[in-house]
């Protein structure tokens, strides 16, 4: 089994995903190119770099129109992508931890409608930090950014999503309580578990909603957050993840899925 480490921490590939994913991770022949995204409209939160940037690029490749957000005023990789997107990529600004900015984004969207809202923004912390030594400030930063703020975005922007559309949040295999047998990343794990629980409550509160609700686990991917020792490249994860999202369209209820479309244990 593969393992990686940051500082003194080690973790196993197993923690980032589920058993079915591990069994099939090397079988990328399962990749199916979907055409569902042709002409689809996507609202993507947190796309300056990493997985969010790759999701924007993938939807553009599939013919979608994308409104994607960054939080800083400066130029990002997403702006480079916009230069080659033929007018199909608009860049908006929002810090998901500032409710006034989320509300202002909604005001700017006006009467627009989208097929997909995907909240990708998230942060991590030191993998060795535990409840024995994490500061209250750091714990709060993780919980607010990874659990509360994505849900606030959903609460504020769900009205812009078509009744047959999809509302998705980037979770993590690390958010699975059932699969946590090795520990590590305690605070990050807890924040993604809290996100999952909040999304389940949201789904229960909207049980008659026809829209598809998704919590996605992208696998352990080489980004700033995932680190250079991660198991997957972005191009091994994201095209499959987008295909998985598209394949769920029209399937109401909440689903916790990995990038290969396998159900992740809660
Ligand atoms: N990489 C992995 O192995 C892995 C595995 C499982 C789950 N995930 C999840 O996938 C998502 C993306 O991760 P990544 O690997 O692409 O990380 P990344 O490269 O560090 O990118 C994180 C993205 O989130 C944005 N962001 C962070 N805080 C924000 C805030 N308060 N408001 C708005 N945007 C904010 C960042 O914007 P700035 O550029 O402004 O900082 C950046 O665009 C996260 O939710 C992460 O937990 C990643």
**Ligand 1 proximity of 97 Cβ (cutoff 6 Å):** yes
Q: Is the pLDDT of residue 238 over 90?
A: yes
Lookup result for tokens 């939080």? 71
Residue 25 lies in a domain: no
Structure tokens at 67: 């409104």
**Ligand 1 proximity of 175 Cβ (cutoff 6 Å):** no
How far, in Å, CA of 63 to CA of 157, rounded? 23
pTM of this structure: 0.91
Which of 191, 143, 172, 190 has the alpha carbon at shortest distance from 237?
Answer: 172
**Ligand 1 proximity of 237 Cβ (cutoff 6 Å):** no
The atom number, within ligand 1, closest to the CA of 219 reads: 5
Q: Is the pLDDT of residue 216 over 70?
A: yes
How far, in Å, CA of 8 to CA of 212, rounded? 40
Distance from Cα 183 to the centre of ligand 1, integer Å: 21
Q: Is residue 245 within 8 Å of 166, Cβ to Cβ?
A: yes
Sign (positive or negative) of CA dihedral 96, 99, 104, 110: positive
- pLDDT tens digits, 128-146: 999 999 999 999 999 999 9
Distance from Cα 123 to the centre of ligand 1, integer Å: 5
Nearest CA to ligand 1 atom 23: 121
Which of 41, 52, 108 has the alpha carbon at shortest distance from 81?
Answer: 52
Residue 78 lies in a domain: yes
Distance from Cα 239 to the centre of ligand 1, integer Å: 17
Which of the four pLDDT bands, split at 50, 70 and 90, describes residue 36? Answer: low
Q: How many distinct structural domains can be found in the chain? A: 1
Percentage of the chain exceeding pLDDT 90: 85
CATH label of the domain that carries residue 164: 3.40.50.720
User: What range does the domain containing 169 cover?
Assistant: 33-258
First to last CA, the chain: 22
Structure tokens at 248: 């769920």
Distance from Cα 187 to the centre of ligand 1, integer Å: 16
Residue 245 lies in a domain: yes
Residue 5 lies in a domain: no
Cβ neighbours for 265, distance < 8 A, ≥ 6 positions apart: 18, 176, 178, 179
């Amino acid at each position: 089994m593969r393992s990686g480490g940051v500082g003194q921490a080690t973790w196993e590939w197993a923690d980032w995903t589920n058993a079915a994913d591990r069994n099939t991770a090397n079988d990328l022949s399962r990749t199916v190119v979907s055409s569902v995204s042709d002409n689809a409209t996507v609202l993507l939160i947190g796309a300056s770099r990493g997985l969010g940037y790759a999701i924007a690029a993938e939807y553009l490749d599939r013919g979608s129109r994308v409104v994607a957000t960054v939080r800083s005023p400066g130029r990002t990789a997403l702006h480079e992508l916009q230069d080659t997107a033929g007018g199909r990529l608009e860049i908006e600004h929002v810090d998901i931890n500032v409710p006034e900015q989320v509300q202002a984004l909604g005001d700017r969207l006006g009467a627009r409608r989208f097929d997909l809202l995907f909240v990708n923004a998230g942060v991590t912390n030191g993998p060795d930090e535990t409840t024995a030594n994490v500061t209250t400030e750091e714990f709060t930063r993780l919980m607010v950014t990874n659990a509360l703020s994505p849900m606030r975005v959903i609460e504020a922007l769900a009205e812009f999503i078509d009744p047959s559309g999809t509302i998705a949040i980037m979770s993590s295999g690390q958010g699975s309580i059932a699969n946590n047998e090795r520990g590590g990343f305690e605070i990050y794990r807890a924040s993604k578990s809290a996100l999952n629980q909040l999304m389940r409550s949201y789904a229960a509160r909207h049980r008659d909603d026809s829209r598809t609700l998704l919590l996605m686990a992208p696998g352990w991917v080489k980004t700033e957050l995932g680190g250079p020792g991660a198991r997957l490249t972005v191009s091994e994860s994201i095209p499959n993840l987008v295909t998985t999202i598209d394949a769920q369209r029209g399937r109401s209820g909440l689903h916790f899925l990995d990038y290969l479309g396998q159900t992740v244990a809660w």
